[in-house]
């Protein structure tokens, strides 16, 4: 159990380092690269998303606590199988298969997928953040529509989540996220809800 606690603390510390620009690597020190495998890239993206949720949406972390503890147990067990505690895992409910969409909708683009790039307190700072992201990642963000959705975070108040989309699929959104996270910035696949940033800026008189 002691190793599990240490592992969780290390995971949190790792997330803080990879998602924050306040702790740059020491001069001349090479940055470790994520292995070019699908699972390694998934693990890297998950660690960034968990670090973000731990800071800004702790309720979401609580909802996946059993799965998170099970993952921690499995990783601790890789190093010392005899020391890994036996934690209960919540069974995943069976998924119900939905009927296929109508034939005339098969080629219709989906508007429900987007990428979450950052969170801000005010519309004007979100606009500045979007312009900065366009400078840094214009090759993958050009042509996407920025939207803002409100999020209430316990103990911290309201935030505006900056999203960009739409994408035809979650896989397409994830591919863009991987390019952004590989450069050190935060990105997560989300739904394309919210209001157009230009409309919110007009309503706020900015």
Domain layout of the chain by residue ranges: 2-21+34-83, 109-204
How confident is the model over 17-32, as a mean pLDDT?
46
Q: Specify the residue for token string 């890239």.
A: 41
Query: How does residue 22 score in pLDDT terms, banded at 50, 70 and 90?
Result: very low
pLDDT tens digit sequence for 154-163: 888 999 999 9
The closest alpha carbon to 161, from 176, 150, 174, 145, belongs to 150
Rounded alpha-carbon distances, angstroms, from residue 6 to 11, 40, 76, 205: 9, 21, 10, 49
What pairs with residue 188 in β-bridges?
Answer: 116
Question: Does residue 195 register a pLDDT over 80?
Answer: yes
pLDDT of residue 13: 42
Q: What is the mean pLDDT of residues 123-143?
A: 96
Q: Residue 100: what pLDDT?
A: 59
What is the dotted CATH code of the domain comprising 109-204? 3.30.70.1070
pLDDT grade for 72, boundaries at 50, 70 and 90: confident
If you average pLDDT over residues 42-53, what whole number do you get? 75
Cβ count near 31 (within 10 Å): 7
pTM, rounded to two decimals: 0.48
Alpha-helical (H) ranges within the chain are 2-19, 38-56, 58-63, 65-79, 123-141, 170-182, 197-204
In angstroms, rounded to a whole number, what is the distance separating the alpha carbons of residues 172 and 157? 32
Residue 80 has pLDDT above 70, yes or no: no
DSSP annotation of 93 reads P
Please answer whether residues 189 and 113 qualify as being in contact, where contact means their C-beta atoms are separated by less than 8 angstroms. Answer: yes
Percent of the chain with pLDDT over 70: 66
pLDDT at 33: 77
pLDDT higher than 60, residue 75: yes
6-23 burial string, b = 16+ CB within 10 Å, else e? ebeeebeeebeebbeeee
């Amino acid at each position: 159990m002691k190793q599990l606690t240490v592992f969780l603390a290390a995971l949190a510390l790792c997330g803080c380092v990879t998602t924050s620009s306040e702790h740059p690597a020491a001069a001349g020190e090479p940055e470790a690269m994520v292995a070019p495998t699908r699972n390694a890239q998934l693990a890297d993206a998950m660690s960034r998303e968990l670090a973000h949720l731990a800071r800004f949406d702790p309720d979401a972390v609580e909802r996946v606590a059993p799965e998170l503890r099970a993952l921690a147990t499995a990783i601790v067990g890789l190093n010392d199988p005899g020391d890994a505690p036996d934690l209960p895992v919540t069974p995943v409910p069976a998924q119900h298969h939905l009927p296929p969409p109508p034939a005339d909708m098969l080629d219709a683009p989906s508007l429900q997928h987007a990428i979450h790039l950052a969170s801000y307190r005010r519309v004007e700072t979100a606009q500045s953040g979007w312009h900065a992201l366009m400078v840094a990642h214009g090759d993958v963000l050009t042509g996407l529509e920025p939207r803002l959705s409100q999020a209430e975070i316990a103990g911290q108040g309201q935030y505006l989540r900056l999203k960009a989309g739409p994408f035809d699929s979650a896989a397409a959104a994830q591919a863009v996220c991987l390019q952004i996270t590989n450069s050190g910035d935060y990105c997560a696949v989300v739904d394309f809800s919210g209001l157009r940033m230009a409309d919110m800026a007009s309503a706020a008189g900015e």
